[in-house]
């Protein structure tokens, strides 16, 4: 059975809009877990635009499932991860001017520094995932640097239309199969919602789907508990 990781970044986005203390992503994570989330994901960006260091430190103590920390592949972030020791770290590309993560990490280009950073994270007992585009070269590089997981960037599939969507779905399917052959465990996420996730679920082979924006958007209308339960039913029923 596939698992659902709920990203609570945008609870923090609302909080930071006023610079106050609510809504609290820590409380949101607890509600999400009670509603069926199998894990909690947060992205500690270098500019701290939503999730703050304080959030990650408290979540480390309070999350009852597992905590997945998304972060840039920098020495600063590796040091923070080694201090907090989340269950998982997902290394992602990061640009300060982007609204959300655009594209996958170019693992093939940064073999040497990523190998060193992953080794340090492993020494701290942290499982490491790499957020990559559905591309065979990046999969081979991910295996070479000894990542435990890849997380397939599903943004191109989610944004595609017509025949392009079918082609992007085929790329995801090929990536799942190739990744598993290389000994990599496979997660997926970015842009997935209550509708477009169904064809991806049907492919099988993905351990966990990390979803945030769609769930938080629905939560504004129906409440967080219901929004998480509805997505969990889709994912767990696959």
Distance CA 182, CA 194 (A): 30
The DSSP result for 187-225, as a single string, is EEESS--TTTHHHHHHH---SEEEE-HHHHHHHHHH-HH
Task: Please report, for residues 60, 62, 129, the alpha-carbon distance to residue 66 in angstroms, rounded to integers and kept in the order given.
Answer: 9, 10, 14
Residue 119 designated active-site? no
Out of 10, 50, 153, 190, pick the active-site residue. 190
Is residue 113 within 8 A of residue 72, CB to CB? The reply is no
Question: Do 228 and 6 contact (CB within 8 A), yes or no?
Answer: yes
From 10, 43, 50, 153, the catalytic residue = 43
Helix (H, G, I), strand (E, B) or coil at 2: coil
Phi, then psi, of 147 in degrees rounded to 5: -70, 150
- Number of helices followed by number of strands (H, E) in the chain: 11, 8
190 is catalytic: yes
Contact indicator for 227, 235 with CB cutoff of 8 Å: no
- Cβ-count burial of 219 within 10 angstroms (0-12 exposed, 13-18 middle, 19+ buried)? buried
Hey, what are 224's tokens? Answer: 């967080």
- DSSP 3-state of 51: coil
CB atoms within 10 A of CB 92: 22
Q: Does the annotation mark 236 as catalytic?
A: no
**Catalytic annotation, pick one of 70, 94, 151, 208:** 70
Catalytic residue positions, numbered? 43, 70, 190
């Amino acid at each position: 059975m596939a698992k659902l990781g709920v990203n609570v970044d945008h609870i923090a986005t609302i909080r930071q809009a006023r610079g106050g203390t609510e809504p609290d992503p820590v409380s949101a994570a607890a509600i999400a877990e009670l509603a069926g989330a199998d894990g909690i994901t947060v992205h500690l960006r270098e500019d701290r635009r939503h999730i703050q260091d304080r959030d990650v430190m408290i979540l480390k103590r309070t999350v009852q499932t597992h905590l997945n920390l998304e972060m840039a592949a920098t020495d600063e972030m590796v040091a923070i991860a080694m201090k907090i020791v989340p269950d998982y770290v997902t290394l992602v590309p990061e640009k300060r001017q982007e609204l959300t993560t655009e594209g996958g990490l170019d693992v093939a280009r940064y073999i040497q520094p990523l190998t060193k950073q992953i080794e340090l994270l492993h020494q701290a007992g942290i499982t490491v995932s790499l957020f990559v585009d559905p591309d065979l070269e990046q999969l081979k590089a991910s295996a070479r640097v000894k990542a435990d997981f890849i997380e397939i960037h599903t943004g191109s599939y989610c944004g595609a239309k017509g025949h392009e969507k079918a082609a992007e779905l085929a790329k995801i399917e090929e990536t799942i199969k190739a990744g598993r052959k290389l000994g990599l465990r496979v997660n997926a996420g970015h842009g997935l919602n209550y509708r477009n996730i169904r064809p991806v679920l049907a492919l099988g082979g993905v351990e966990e789907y990390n979803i945030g924006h769609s769930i938080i958007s629905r939560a504004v209308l129906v409440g967080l508990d219901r929004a998480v339960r509805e997505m969990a039913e889709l994912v767990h029923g696959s």
